[in-house]
Amino acid sequence: MWQWLRRLLKLKPKHSAYIMTDDGTETPWFRTTRVGMPLSGGVTVTAARFVNLGESEPEDKRVEITPADLIKFIEAGANVSLVDIDVKIEQLRERKRFWKETLKRVAPLEINHAIIMLEARKKYPELKASIPWRTTTKERIEEICEKYKVEHRGIGEFIPELPEEAVREVMAFTAVYRRALSDKPELQSPVLSVVAPTALFKTRKGDPILLAAAPFGEFYYVLCAWDKEVKFVEELLA
């Protein structure tokens, strides 16, 4: 038996699973539960990648794109409809009660998230004048990342390189964000991310586009882009 066990321990697996985190490092799959859940130290999983040990990575067939062209493609309309909003909020609250009272379980996070967004959306008319930024959606970003050699990652990838104009835009957005979620003191920090050519995540030198998750729905505000080729998104999208 012991000989069999020793032989088993000497076997080398053909495949190995790794999780790609937002800081560009790889972590074994058992260090996390699913994509999107935070790891220890604040690192968040952005994608899962399974690697065949001893084999090279497949060729990246995506197309190169300049930051200026990237900005032209990233804009997408977002839905901030107020139609029947109170009815929709009550429907979501009813689902939440169903989970709690009937199933005796905590409602999925998506339900709570949707309630918060719709409640914030009711404040949109009074905040609209303070929102100059264009919008984009998760679907549009996914399309761009699949077609072009760009990545969508957390703001931590570019924090040391944030220029003054980016800081100003973040501060302006944060003020609006906090007004929209004034009754949610635990949600006072906006979620920021960047879209940039894949190569820039190694050098952190170039023209990333700064995004902020909207408090009103599942979309992003395009805050700005920077460096020599691109400055403000508003100037290029006008």
Does residue 145 sit within a domain? yes
Residue 160 pLDDT grade (very low, low, confident, very high; cuts 50, 70, 90): low
140 & 205 share domain: yes
Q: In 3D, which of 149, 142, 229 has the Cα closest to residue 197?
A: 149
For the ranges 96-100, 156-160, 190-194, the lowest mean pLDDT is seen at 156-160
Q: In 3D, which of 197, 205, 194 has the Cα closest to residue 160?
A: 205
What is the overall mean pLDDT for the chain? 77
Does residue 100 sit within a domain? yes
Number of structural domains, the chain?
A: 3
Residue range 173-232, pLDDT digits in tens: 999 999 999 999 888 899 999 998 888 877 766 668 899 999 999 999 999 876 554 444
109 & 141 share domain: no
47 & 141 share domain: no
* Token pair belonging to 67: 């930051």
142 & 158 share domain: yes
Range of the domain at 104: 83-121
Does residue 61 sit within a domain? no
220 & 161 share domain: yes
Does residue 57 sit within a domain? no
Does residue 127 sit within a domain? no
Residue 170 pLDDT grade (very low, low, confident, very high; cuts 50, 70, 90): very high
Q: For the sheet with 150-154, list strands across it.
A: 134-137, 219-225, 209-213, 192-197, 150-154
153 & 103 share domain: no
pLDDT at 43 over 70: no
Does residue 4 sit within a domain? no
Does residue 149 sit within a domain? yes
209 & 94 share domain: no
Q: In 3D, which of 141, 92, 142, 97 has the Cα closest to residue 117?
A: 92
218 & 196 share domain: yes
157 & 226 share domain: yes
CB-count burial class (<10 Å; 0-12, 13-18, 19+) for 63: exposed
226 & 155 share domain: yes
46 & 154 share domain: no
Q: For the sheet with 26-28, list strands across it.
A: 26-28, 15-21, 45-52
Q: What sign does the dihedral 119-123-125-127 (CA atoms) show? A: negative
